[in-house]
Amino acid sequence: MKQNCYCGRSNAYTACCGKYHRGAASAPTPEDLMRSRYSAFAVGDADYLVATRHPRFVTDSSAAEIAQSNVEMKWIGLKVLDAVQLSEKKGQVEFIAFYEQAGQRGQLHERSNFQKFKGKWVYTDGELK
């Protein structure tokens, strides 16, 4: 049986977001990066989440905060609503991420901004919808 990646694509995790997590490749588009960051939340890869965020938005406590949120929240699905590349160095992705927290289901709807930094796409910030 073939299993989809956490990000919802029909590829297996190892052939999809897993290759970005283990450093075998860099996400080629903002959407690929966004999906791989969602999958990193799903598998609890805080290092990847810190490494793919623009350094301007990363603090010393970022990794610990992400690790804590991974304990509290279980990510159960992703829906990408829109993905645009605004220029060679800027893109936006709007998505809804579904989670369970303390037995309750919730969702996070965000339009995220991405920039190219040192040749790789990174997440900067986002607007909650």
The contact set with Zn ion (CB under 5 A) reads: 5, 7, 9, 16-17
- The Cα–Cα gap between 95 and 52 comes to 17
Coil, helix or strand at residue 72? helix
CB closer to Zn ion, 18 vs 127: 18
**Least distance from Zn ion to the Cβ atom of residue 23, Å:** 15
CB closer to Zn ion, 5 vs 66: 5
Helix (H) or strand (E) holding 69: helix 62-72
CB closer to Zn ion, 89 vs 120: 120
**Least distance from Zn ion to the Cβ atom of residue 114, Å:** 16
**Least distance from Zn ion to the Cβ atom of residue 32, Å:** 8
Cα distances (Å, whole numbers) of residue 60 to 25, 41, 66, 123: 26, 18, 11, 17
**Least distance from Zn ion to the Cβ atom of residue 33, Å:** 11
- The Cα–Cα gap between 6 and 29 comes to 18
- The Cα–Cα gap between 34 and 24 comes to 17
CB closer to Zn ion, 9 vs 111: 9
